[in-house]
C-alpha cells in the first residue's frame, strides 16, 4: 500500500464494468480523491459526469473509503461501480495483488483480482420474502412470483426470456412499487442461467444497463430454485452485461470483466 501514489490530485477513470461477449457493460466513473470533499460537491460532480453511478474512492489508513452517487442521489450499494473501482486500483494504480477492503454505507466490502482475469467482489446477500404480486400494480405485466429483496429491492419473476425482453415499463408507474431497485428476472436466456432487467426510477435511473447489486437477490433465488450456488447472468439492456455469482451464507461473490475507456484529471 505504501507504494501507491495518491498525492497527485483528483483523477478519474471511465470504466465499462461487466463487459462480455456482445456486451458493452455499464459505465462507471471512478474518482480518486486526494482529500475530503463535501457531499454537495460530490453530488455536483456525479451530476456533471452523468453516468448511472460515480464512485468516489479515497485512501484511509490501510484501506479505502468508497461512496457511490447517481446523478441525483447517493446510494447505499453499487455493484458495477465497485467492480470498476477494484479494476482501477489494480490495473491503473498498481495496488499490490491481494484483498482490497472498502468502508461503505453497506458495511465493509472486499474485492480482488481473480486468476482467470476477472474481478471478484463480495456483496451482502439479500434474504427474500414472498410478496403479493399486487404490489407491482401491473407495472411488469403478469408475473410468476414477487419477493422483497432486502430493505430496498423487489425481485419479480416473469414467465420467460421473450416476456422479459418485451416489457414496456412506465418509469413513473414504478414509483408506486415499494422499492428503489426493481429487478425483473427469468430463468434462461442466451448462454445464461438467468436473464434480468433492472429499473430504478427513484434513484434517477429509468433502466440500469448492468446491475451488480441485483446479484444479492438473484443468486439466492437461483440457489433456492435449482440448488446451484453459482449462476451466469445476463442483463438484457441496450448495452448488455455479463455477471457471474457464487452464493455463500452471508454474502454473494460477484465477478465480471472490466476495461478502462479513458482517464483524466478532475478540475472541479
Annotated catalytic sites, by residue? 53
CB contact at 8 A, 14 and 262: yes
Which segments of 37-98 does DSSP mark as H helices, in order? 39-49, 79-87
Eight-state DSSP code of residue 1: -
Instruction: In whole angstroms, give the CA distance from residue 76 to residue 125.
Output: 14
The residues facing 107 across adjacent strands are 104
- The C-alpha cell of 225 is what? 430454485
Alpha carbon 125 to chain centroid distance? 13
Sequence-ordered alpha helix ranges (H) in the chain: 39-49, 79-87, 161-165, 171-174, 215-226
Residue with cell 474481478: 119
- DSSP-derived letter for residue 179 is -
DSSP designation for 228 = -
Phi and psi at residue 82, in whole multiples of 5°?
A: -70, -45
Amino acid at each position: 500500500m505504501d507504494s501507491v501514489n495518491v498525492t497527485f490530485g483528483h483523477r478519474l477513470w471511465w470504466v465499462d464494468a461487466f463487459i462480455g461477449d456482445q456486451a458493452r457493460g455499464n459505465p462507471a466513473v471512478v474518482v480518486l480523491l486526494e482529500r475530503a470533499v463535501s457531499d454537495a460537491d460530490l453530488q455536483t460532480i456525479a451530476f456533471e459526469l452523468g453516468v448511472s453511478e460515480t464512485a468516489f474512492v479515497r485512501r484511509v489508513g490501510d484501506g479505502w473509503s468508497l461512496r457511490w452517487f447517481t446523478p441525483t442521489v447517493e446510494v447505499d450499494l453499487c455493484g458495477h461501480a465497485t467492480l470498476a473501482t477494484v479494476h482501477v486500483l489494480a490495473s491503473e494504480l498498481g495496488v499490490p495483488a491481494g484483498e482490497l477492503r472498502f468502508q461503505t454505507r453497506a458495511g465493509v466490502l472486499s474485492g480482488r483480482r481473480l486468476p482467470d482475469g476477472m474481478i471478484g467482489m463480495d456483496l451482502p446477500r439479500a434474504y427474500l420474502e414472498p410478496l403479493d404480486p399486487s404490489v407491482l400494480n401491473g407495472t411488469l405485466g403478469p408475473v410468476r412470483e414477487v419477493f422483497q429483496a432486502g430493505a430496498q429491492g423487489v425481485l419479480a419473476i416473469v414467465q420467460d426470456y421473450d416476456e422479459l425482453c418485451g416489457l414496456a415499463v412506465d418509469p413513473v408507474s414504478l414509483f408506486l412499487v415499494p422499492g428503489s431497485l426493481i429487478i425483473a428476472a427469468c430463468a434462461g436466456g442466451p448462454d445464461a442461467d438467468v436473464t434480468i432487467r433492472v429499473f430504478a426510477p427513484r434513484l434517477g435511473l429509468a433502466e440500469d444497463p448492468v446491475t451488480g447489486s441485483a446479484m444479492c437477490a438473484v443468486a439466492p433465488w437461483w440457489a433456492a430454485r435449482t440448488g446451484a450456488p453459482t449462476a451466469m447472468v445476463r442483463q438484457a439492456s441496450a448495452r448488455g452485461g455479463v455477471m457471474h455469482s457464487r452464493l455463500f451464507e452471508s454474502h454473494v461473490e460477484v465477478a465480471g470483466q472490466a476495461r478502462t475507456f479513458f482517464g483524466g484529471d478532475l478540475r472541479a
